[in-house]
Structure 1
């Protein structure tokens, strides 16, 4: 894939107990930082870490659907690693060979890759595992804030020409488990 756009990677190690909640929180936080319409905020408390989210039925349904697909993919297979890839695009005129307009295409301008690995900590390691997961969430939030406020993060955003809805740009969330896209 031609990556002329910023790609931000977040690595997280999860357990069965907190996987859905953590992935939901991370996706909501990414959307919170990259939606440009009128966003009604909400917060998520995970392991004493407060993360921002978007209170919008359509976005909540999208996130829940993708997290469920990820969960089912992890549960049904032997592979305990997967990715959730959030791609923000803009609609651009698609032209043929002779510069004739032939419709529109989605051209990505930014991508967020959440690499997730499932592990089951031993009961005596639970406290340490949760502390590490909380630290990972804080680091992920810091990555989001640093990227979206950086020069590269700001200049990646195309001009907003359509101000209707919560996002003027198409959003795609892809789920991969074992390198295979699901859902």
Structure 2
């Protein structure tokens, strides 16, 4: 069992909103968990203003993972998938005899975005968009609540390198139908 916080966000998306919503959610997570000097941006998705980070490397990471998710959903039989964002710290790795043998990534927080694709009928579009908008608002509230809570603050390890936008390794994995892709 992992001892680090795991935060789950459940989304029901459609073909028209999947990329925008996933980009906005990933951007918002990074906004709340990057500790270097960032240039903030906002995204407007279904009437909800979402925070983000203006950084070419992070923007490319988000774009690549959203595209990978989209291709996995479009090309596969499963219409459910996950994007998992794991924040880690580098720690010295020791062997059995307490001999230093390099470094290992030790997770300190994980965000799981569960996404399911549905296609609403035209007459249900307004209700679907309203429900998704409410889900986005709830997701932002979850991010704010967690990152400002005692548990969310104490999960962050000591920052020893402030030279980059993220002093910690970030791993973003995409799973479709329970199988990691990419």
What interval of TM-score do these two structures reach, taking the shorter chain for normalisation? Answer: over 0.9
Specify the alignment match of 2:178 in structure 1.
179
RMSD: 0.4
Determine the structure 2 residue equivalent to 1:166: 165
Aligned-partner Cα distance in 1 for 2:5–2:123 = 40
Secondary structure of 1:59's aligned partner? helix
**TM-score of the superposition, structure 1-length normalised?**
0.99
Give how far 1:85 is off. 0.2
> For residues 65 and 125 of structure 1, what CA distance do their matches in structure 2 show?
31
| Structure 1: segments with no counterpart, 5+ residues | none
The whole-number CA distance in structure 1 between the counterparts of 2:140 and 2:158 is: 25
Displacement of 1:160 after TM fit? 0.3
- Would you say how many aligned residue pairs link Structure 1 and Structure 2? 182
Q: Which TM-score applies when normalising by structure 2?
A: 0.99
* Aligned equivalents of 2:116, 2:135: Cα separation in 1: 13
Q: Take 2:9 and 2:51, find their aligned partners in 1: how far apart are those partners?
A: 16
> SS at the partner of 2:32?
helix
CA-to-aligned-CA distance 1:145-181 (integer Å, 9 cap, x gap) = 0000000000000000111110000000000000000
Deviation string, structure 1 residues 1-33 (Cα, Å, up to 9, x no partner): x31100000000000000000000000000000
The 5 A counterparts of 1:19-38 are 19-38=18-37
2:127 equivalent to 1:128: yes
Q: Secondary structure at the match of 1:74?
A: helix
